[in-house]
Amino acid sequence: MRAVIQRARYGSVSVDEKIIAEIQKGLVILLGVGPEDTEAEAQAMARKAALLRIFEDDQGKMNRSILDIGGEALVVSQFTLYGDTRKGNRPSFIGAAQPDLARPLVERFADFLREQGIPTQTGEFGTEMLVKIENAGPVTILLEM
């Protein structure tokens, strides 16, 4: 499982020019699922994301988590995180999980965030989406389980 986690002032997902998910201060998480991933990886990744101390404290140091600031999360499925460009210039996505495995793990990941008390919205799996992210900092973290 791979995630690009961005500290955001705002994030939204639109489908057919209609906003289907929107957050204010929190995390926008682009999540990719590999063929060997399980619910255990989804749970571990959600816990790591929830506890990442990438929000500033009163001294301006990154010491606070999304839980500490009462932030929100926006989770967007992103199979292209498994794009392989080692051969040629067109990415191969054979390293990404098939939708029948990926969809439930993305949903479980979002559920695990909710279970930790983080208000969480999601994009629409398998759909062409427009994702808007106001990356604050900018702060972008790559995670892999």
Secondary structure in 3-state letters for the chain: CEEEEEEEEEEEEEECCEEEEEECCEEEEEEECCCCCCHHHHHHHHHHHHHCCCEECCCCCEEECHHHHCCEEEEEECHHHHCECCCCCCCECCCCCCHHHHHHHHHHHHHHHHHCCCCEEECCCCCCCEEEEEEEEEEEEEEEC
Annotated catalytic residue within 24, 43, 55, 78: 78
pLDDT band at 79 (very low <50, low <70, confident <90, very high): very high
Task: Based on the residue annotation, tell me whether 121 is a catalytic residue of this protein.
Answer: no
What are the tens digits of pLDDT across the range 25-66? 999 999 999 999 999 999 999 999 999 999 999 999 999 999
pLDDT at position 75 is: 98
pLDDT at position 118 is: 98
What are the tens digits of pLDDT across the range 5-16? 999 999 999 999
What are the tens digits of pLDDT across the range 87-131? 999 999 999 999 999 999 999 999 999 999 999 999 999 999 999
Task: Based on the residue annotation, tell me whether 120 is a catalytic residue of this protein.
Answer: no
Q: Which domains does the chain have, with CATH numbers?
A: 2-144 (3.50.80.10)
What is this structure's pTM?
0.95
Minimal CA–CA distance to 77: which of 114, 109, 44? 109
> Which residues are registered as beta bridge partners of 77?
31
Task: Based on the residue annotation, tell me whether 79 is a catalytic residue of this protein.
Answer: yes
Token pair 């301006």 is found at: 60
